[in-house]
A = this chain, B = another copy of it.
Amino acid sequence: MASFSNDQLLQEIKSCEDLLTDRIADNMETFGVSSTVGRLLGIIYMNREAMTLDSLADETGMSKTRMSQVMRQMISLNIAEKEYVKGSRKDHYNVERDYAQTFISLFTSNWSEVVKRNTSLERRLREQIRHLETFLTEDSSEDVKVRMERLQQELDEWNAYYNWIDNLVAFFESGEIFNHVPIVSSEQEGGSTK
Contacts and interface: CB of A to CB of B under 8 A. Distances in A.
Interface of A: 3-4, 6, 9-10, 12-13, 16-17, 19-20, 23, 26-27, 29-32, 46, 99-100, 103, 110-111, 113-114, 117-118, 121, 124-125, 128-129, 132, 135-136, 140-141, 143-144, 147-148, 151-154, 156-161, 163-165, 167-168, 171, 176-177, 180-186, 188, 191-192
Copies in the complex: 2
Given A19-B121, A129-B16, A114 B27 contact: yes
A117 to B, nearest CB: 7
B152 A13 contact: no
Contact of A9 (B9, B23, B132, B168): B132
Given A6-B144, A27-B118, 8 more contacts: A4-B135, A9-B140, A9-B148, A20-B158, A30-B32, A30-B113, A159-B186, A160-B185
A21 to B, nearest CB: 11
B183 A30 contact: no
Contact of A12 (B99, B132, B188, B192): B132
A153 B163 CA distance: 39
Contacts of A128: 12, 16
A20 B135 contact: no
A5 B12 CA distance: 75
